[in-house]
Amino acid sequence: MSLLMTRRTALISAAATTAVFALPSRSRAATAHEVMMLTKSPDDPALRNIFSPRLLVVESGDTVKFVPTEKTHNSASIRGMIPEGAETWKGKINQEIEVTLTLPGFYGYECTPHHAMGMVGLVVVKGDGMMTNLEAAKAAKLRGKGADVFAEIWAEVGGLDLQA
């Protein structure tokens, strides 16, 4: 009887171990975020050609959907302003584009026809190694008002607690 109990206990233990490893892991569900592409701000009509919000902080694996609420806009990653190894994107004019961001870091983006008018934004993806591309993103060459708007965005980033 003792041998039978040991064998039975071993089989039950093996089955329980297999069941535990087969269970799905309890990871955080990815979140979807929206960024509106606007010709003028609903809050301040003097602000033209903007992304709202222009600064977004997300978790790794989250999706950002760029929504063209008005015509003539798109979203495209800016060369030199995304983490090494991350996928670039370039949406078509007047079309939504969804981007899933898996690598932590700083992702600069623009409206291709309105970059020089200051239509730029930044997504910060939190996680290990997120600071790796910060200096490169800050040093990227920008044209026109896009450089001025990014100076404001970098000041906002400096005021964030990105460790939480």
On the question of pLDDT at 63 being above 90, the answer is yes
| Residue numbers of the domain that contains 115 | 32-158
Provide the pLDDT for residue 6. Answer: 54
33 is in an annotated binding site: no
Beta bridge partners of 58: 125
Task: Give the total number of structural domains in the chain.
Answer: 1
Query: How many CB atoms lie under 10 A from the CB of residue 60?
Result: 18
Residue type, 114: H
Does some domain include residue 19?
no
CATH of the domain at 97: 2.60.40.420
Q: CB–CB of 129/105 below 8 Å?
A: yes
pLDDT at 49 over 50: yes
Instruction: Report residue 20's pLDDT band, with 50, 70 and 90 as the boundaries.
Output: very low
114 is in an annotated binding site: yes
Residue 7 located in a structural domain: no
5 within domain boundaries: no
Q: What is the DSSP letter of 118?
A: T
Determine, yes or no, domain membership for 24: no
In a domain, 150, yes or no: yes
The predicted-structure confidence for 83-141, as pLDDT tens digits, reads as follows 999 999 999 999 999 999 999 999 999 999 999 999 999 999 999 999 999 999 999 99
* E strand map for 9-94: 32-40, 48-52, 55-59, 63-68, 76-77
- Give a yes or no: residue 6 inside a domain: no
Mean pLDDT throughout 58-64?
97
